[in-house]
Structure 1
Amino acid sequence: MSDARRHGSHLDARHHGSHLDARHHGSHLDAPSVIRTKRDGGILTDAAIDWVIDGYTRGLVADEQMSALLMAIFLRGMTPGEITRWTAAMVASGERFDFTDLGLPLVDKHSTGGVGDKITIPLVPVVLACGAAVPQAAGRGLGHTGGTLDKLESIAGFTPELSKTQIRQQLSEIGAAIFAAGDLAPADRKIYALRDITATTESLPLIASSVMSKKLAEGAQSLVLDVKSGRGAFLKTEAESRELAATMVALGNSYGVPTRALLTDMNRPLGYTVGNSVEVAESLEVLAGGGPADVVELTLALAAEMLDAAGVDGVDPAQTLRDGTAMDRFRRLIAAQGGDLSRPLPIGAHNETVTAAAGGVMGDIDAMAVAMAAWRLGAGRAAPGHPVQLGAGVRIHRRPGEPVAAGETLFTLYTDTPERLGAALGELDGGWSVGAAAPDLGPLVIDHLG
């Protein structure tokens, strides 16, 4: 037994004697005792974690009780052993997909989320075109823009609501499926919604277990993480992002899914677009062999990691963009899920521009300022289940370091509700500059872990 587990057992035995019996008789556990253990800085036993996750999933532990436990975890933290067990309990709360019988090199990628982060859209077809397969459980956004599913739903007819049978068939026939998590890790779905309204979202153990429970349940055999750091990231400092990446890599590996991570910069937006349909349009440019240099760079860096993790070698991901094979795979994937790329993508009916008062060089652009502008325009949601405007967003016309002429358009804002434009412009104000010299931009890929 590890020191952490031993220490946790002594705490439980000393303060809550019933916990010793509870390892064998889960019915002896009760929510106040579990909460009290963590509140007082104790270490939760495996039995306590299994019991509280199962109980909350089944409605036997009340929202008020889970809220108290989440706040105790937020304040007291968790040991690596606790995080591993918490994650495993959330995976066990629902179905775990298993596609190993298909005989495919199954690999997936997860991003911790950023501004203009449309990377999944070109990345999946690039990896497909190179010979790997991707089962991707994706989510809807909560915050400044929609998630991957919201963005893809701006393509007419596209649906992410796939049954397990459909996912299996799609993986077998075309090598990929991008689907709503559905019944995967239902405990996480309930806990995530509760964290959002109880100010416990920023807890590193809870972030790591939330991400990894869904990814470990979806059936991938290896996993690559894109962990963002900077102003537009969930975690602002490199130290926090590095700790999160290391925690998630360890979780994946301990669960038998080889996991690695790239630590990437999110101080400024990725690409020239932030929103939903505007990001899909930019992704199509990348798949057509063009697109912004940073989006292409990160797509290819992650593709190389995924292919290596899947054991696929001897292929050049960049070639799939040059020769159109990635675009072909994207069209097949979208069509398989009902999407029609021949129909125009929606764009907000109303727009406003921001122009340069003087010429010079575009300075730094604050990713969070652009993110909040997009949110004000209607590209994101304030609460789970709220609709997003698929055509809302921001187009950045000049990126940091590019020359700017006086009177030139620097940003275009799109929305279907013109009364939102004023607040969006206010968010952008002060989030960019034009100066005499280019800003000092660090590397897009900061480090590699795992």
Structure 2
Amino acid sequence: MRVVLGVSGGIAAYKAVLLLRLLREAGHEVRVVPTRAALEFVGRPTWEALSGQPVTSDVFEDVDRVAHVAIGQEADLVVVAPATADLLARAATGQTDDLLTATLLVTRAPVLLAPAMHTEMWEHPATVANVATLRARGVHVLDPASGRLTGTDSGPGRLPEPDEIAAAALALVRPRDLAGRHVVVSAGGTREPLDAVRFLGNRSSGRQGVALAATAAARGARVTLVAAHLSVAAPAGVDVVPVGTADELREAVRVAAKDADAVVMAAAVADFRPLDPATVKIKKRPGAAPPTIALAETVDVLAELASDRLRAGQVVVGFAAETGDAEGSVLEHGQAKARRKGADLLVVNAVGDGLGFGTRDNDVTILRADGSVLTTARGSKETVADAVWDATVALLDEPFQP
């Protein structure tokens, strides 16, 4: 995909370098179009080295190619980060006094603007009106983050993080291949009460499940997110069902799955629960032996869903976080689990080395029900989520055979 990355003249221009890298690592061709002011913050050699493309801000360069028209015509997506108050004003009034504003006026591709400016500028009536005008025309304008700004002041106006901008931008060009479908996604980690204050849990943040829910919504699905103790915000536009324990998650998923085309079990569900949790806090007692905690197995929700199929033709996808050990590698453990669980797909991810629980990136192998490898995916959790939905859609599109 051909992406134009516009950069206007704000201190947050340095973050656009990270955004450029994310887009390139996702496999996209990126043409950087900075304003003259942006080049005061990050120079042309940086943009050219990281993009592999020529960089100019002037409509009088590359005239033989009519670049001020061609760049916008050829783009599949245009992202401007940061978009300063000045850039928003010029875009809203249709000015074409540099290559970036000319590109914005010419392009018919989806456009995402990521504003960054001081709070007073963002809240000024002129900026509010310009943003409203742009949104009314179909331009996607992110709300800025709130936090530390240039200098010592804080407030709304901070550029969103590069991975958030990339995810929002790429969502604009995702296929709508889940339109008309209902999908259920579980996310996060269950907690099994041990006493009145403690629990048995795991390190899952819910990032991968949230990414699956967000990308499914972007691809047109109606999404039910069964959320167990997320440490990240649930995406907008999805139905959220909060749960705590494995039993609560099981019940919520089964209710939601009755009319679902696909169920993706990305939550880290406890394998065991305390058999007899205390109703008060278990206290240390000097000289006494530590208490023994008897455990009981929880229901295998994934295997149950794969066996029951609450709707004809329903696709069931599981996740398996694995570590290698003396008995086998991550892949070998995943293959055995795929054959045992019976889900249509099993997404196996290695835990550790900066991947897996609580991280922004993941590295997965997607297995078929017989344990054979379908494909692999590595990168941001949004990238992995798209790979999972690609594989799921392929199964949904197959003729159903009862």
The bucket for the TM-score relative to the shorter chain is under 0.3
Give TM-score scaled by structure 2 length: 0.26
Structure possessing the higher radius of gyration over alpha carbons: 2
Q: Which has the higher contact order (CA 8 A, sep 6+)?
A: 1
Between Structure 1 and Structure 2, the one with more helix by share is 1
Normalization by structure 1: what TM-score? 0.24
